[in-house]
Amino acid sequence: MGSRLLELARNKRLKRLLLLALLWLPALAVLLVVREVLLPFLLAFALAYVIAPPVRWLSTRTALPRWGAVIVLYVASALIMFGVGRIFVPQIYKEVTRLGGEASAVFNQLSDDEIARRADDIEGWIKRNDIPVHIVTAEDEDEESAGGGPPRSSIGPTPPKEPASDGRGAAVSVDLVQATQELIRDAKRVARERAMGVVSQLQTVVASTVRFVFSTFLVLMLTAFIVADIDRLTGFVFTIIPMRDRSRFQELLTRIDRGLSGVVRGQLTICLINGVLTLIGLLLLKVKFAFLLATVAAVFSLIPIFGSILSTIPIVIVGLSSGPSTAVLAVLWIVGIHALEANLLNPKIMGDAAKIHPVLVVLALVIGEHFYGLAGALFAVPLMSVLVTIWKAVRSRAARLDEELAPGDDDDDADLAPRAPRRRVRLQDGG
């Protein structure tokens, strides 16, 4: 037992592993404790990963130092954002103001007569399509109150005498007037409460703005530091890897970079293309608030699957205000964009290495949003890409070891077989 412990104490690999554990376990514990303030650092690492290739290319082509290339890229990005902002921001501001004005006008025009007229139109459409739903209007309530009938609830089964008259059987009764009036009253009450709290919330808004500006500068500064010292950071990571495993670790990093670059850089590229194509389609169809809706579609496309669905809903709602045909054409245009994205853009831009099964994508989004909200949903798919790549690398390594051990199975069996005793041959010289 003592010799065994002495042998373990002299094992250099075990010593190295213990020293690394003593270094990294406390560091991981500290990161776990301060995880709530790590978001700017995670954003900085993500941004550094995105801009590292253009910085490397610019530094190689112009012989600029890495930090100089970062400054040039920041200035160029600021000029581009300023130019794009001069074009799109006024349009978006006008559309937001117009949307607020039209929503307020529609809200104020919802009188009882207008609601009753809309209810009649809806009920006519329901009857033409033989749907077992009855819309209760003000006239129906007046007739029932005049006839002495019991008051009808807003939603409930239709009395047997009504379905018998039209032969449709049991139906569901919906008091659209009462439901709409209650919704208007609740909306007005909430609006008054919010208006009374505007002054008290002004300080919170100012503090949030200052915090956002500070966080933005912090992320940009951290990103510059990371990109400028990317070689030193990579070299530091390699120092904790044993010499004999560094080639395999380099291969793993290459595979992670291939998959992660497809997910991160590819998704950003597809986000931009999606927003431009959506804007073109909405402008051709003359859908109102085209710039605002295209911006929403571009931002929401950063979240796979769910983002595309959520960004389509306001487009359909606004398209319906211009007519059912406009809404249908807008949906067809969005479906065409997503078909182009799935069949052409994803394979060409993101590549095969970045493909993750949709079930894993949904699982990552749900877990990320549940624990960390919107930020968790944004980081969920890139993190899942890294985990899937590591899992595939470990599985490939295990399969390779299995292939190496397979030919030795027969040798092991042969070692277990009984062997004939060796005969010692005595030579003439007595050897």
Same domain, 218 and 271: no
Indicate the pLDDT class of residue 333, thresholds 50, 70 and 90. Answer: very high
| Model confidence pLDDT, tens digit, residues 102-156 | 777 766 666 666 666 666 777 777 777 776 666 555 555 555 555 545 444 444 4
Q: How far is CA 424 from the centre of its chain?
A: 76
What whole-number distance in Å separates Cα of residue 244 and Cα of residue 115?
Answer: 77
Domain count, the chain: 3
Confirm if 360 and 330 have CB atoms less than 8 A apart. Answer: no
What whole-number distance in Å separates Cα of residue 134 and Cα of residue 123?
Answer: 7
16-25, 168-177, 192-201: range with lowest mean pLDDT: 168-177
20 located within any domain:
no
The 3-state DSSP class for residue 135 equals strand
Same domain, 61 and 83: yes
Same domain, 206 and 278: no
For residue 344, pLDDT over 80 is answered with no
What whole-number distance in Å separates Cα of residue 38 and Cα of residue 30?
Answer: 11
Residue 280's alpha-carbon distances to 44, 180, 277, 284, 291, in angstroms, are: 33, 36, 5, 6, 9
What whole-number distance in Å separates Cα of residue 365 and Cα of residue 378?
Answer: 8
What whole-number distance in Å separates Cα of residue 231 and Cα of residue 280?
Answer: 42
102-116, 209-223, 296-310, 347-361: range with lowest mean pLDDT: 102-116
12 located within any domain:
no
329-333, 352-356, 402-406: range with lowest mean pLDDT: 352-356
- Tokens 């040039």 -> residue: 72
For residue 166, pLDDT over 50 is answered with no
Mean pLDDT of 299-313: 81
For residue 163, pLDDT over 50 is answered with no
Mean pLDDT of 205-214: 82
Looking at 130, 163, 196, which one is the last position of a domain? 196
Same domain, 151 and 275: no
Mean pLDDT of 340-344: 78
Contacts of 299 (CB under 8 A, 6+ apart): 271, 275, 311
The DSSP line for 241-297 is S-GGGHHHHHHHHHHHHHHHHHHHHHHHHHHHHHHHHHHHHHHHTT-TTHHHHHHHH
431 located within any domain:
no
4-8, 49-53, 109-113: range with lowest mean pLDDT: 109-113
Neighbour-count burial for 63-91, b at 16+ CB within 10 Å, e otherwise: eeebeebbebbeeeeeeeeeeeeeebeeb
For residue 413, pLDDT over 60 is answered with no
Q: What is the predicted pLDDT for the residue at 416?
A: 46
The 3-state DSSP class for residue 174 equals strand
For residue 165, pLDDT over 50 is answered with no
The DSSP line for 283-347 is HHTT-TTHHHHHHHHHHHTTSTTHHHHHHHHHHHHHHHHH-HHHHHHHHHHHHHHHHHIIIIIII
Based on C-alpha coordinates, what's the Rg of the chain? 34
144 located within any domain:
yes
For residue 32, pLDDT over 50 is answered with yes
| CA-angle at 222, arms to 221 and 228, nearest 5° | 90
- Amino acid in position 92: I
Same domain, 214 and 362: no
Confirm if 134 and 162 have CB atoms less than 8 A apart. Answer: yes
In the chain, what percentage of residues exceed pLDDT 90?
4
| Strand stretches in 82-229, DSSP E | 133-136, 155-157, 172-175
Which comes out higher in pLDDT, residue 163 or 121? 121
Indicate the pLDDT class of residue 371, thresholds 50, 70 and 90. Answer: confident
For residue 281, pLDDT over 50 is answered with yes
Same domain, 63 and 126: no
22-31, 46-55, 140-149: range with lowest mean pLDDT: 140-149
29 located within any domain:
no
Q: How far is CA 327 from the centre of its chain?
A: 26
Q: What is the predicted pLDDT for the residue at 162?
A: 47
Q: What is the predicted pLDDT for the residue at 75?
A: 92
15 located within any domain:
no
For residue 44, pLDDT over 80 is answered with yes
What whole-number distance in Å separates Cα of residue 267 and Cα of residue 307?
Answer: 12
Same domain, 165 and 155: yes
- Tokens 């009984």 -> residue: 418
Range of the domain at 229: 41-109+198-240
Q: What is the predicted pLDDT for the residue at 431?
A: 41
Same domain, 205 and 189: no
Confirm if 275 and 281 have CB atoms less than 8 A apart. Answer: no
The 3-state DSSP class for residue 157 equals strand
294 located within any domain:
yes
31 located within any domain:
no
Same domain, 292 and 391: yes
Please give the structure tokens belonging to residue 285: 């169809």
* 188 phi and psi angles, rounded to 5 deg: -65, -40
Please give the structure tokens belonging to residue 278: 């959506």
For residue 343, pLDDT over 70 is answered with yes
Mean pLDDT of 190-215: 71
Q: How far is CA 309 from the centre of its chain?
A: 12
Same domain, 184 and 221: no
Q: What is the predicted pLDDT for the residue at 45?
A: 87
Mean pLDDT of 306-329: 84
Same domain, 365 and 330: yes
Contacts of 362 (CB under 8 A, 6+ apart): 305
Q: What is the predicted pLDDT for the residue at 79?
A: 92
Average pLDDT, the chain: 75
60-69, 116-125, 291-300, 326-335: range with lowest mean pLDDT: 116-125
Same domain, 254 and 370: yes
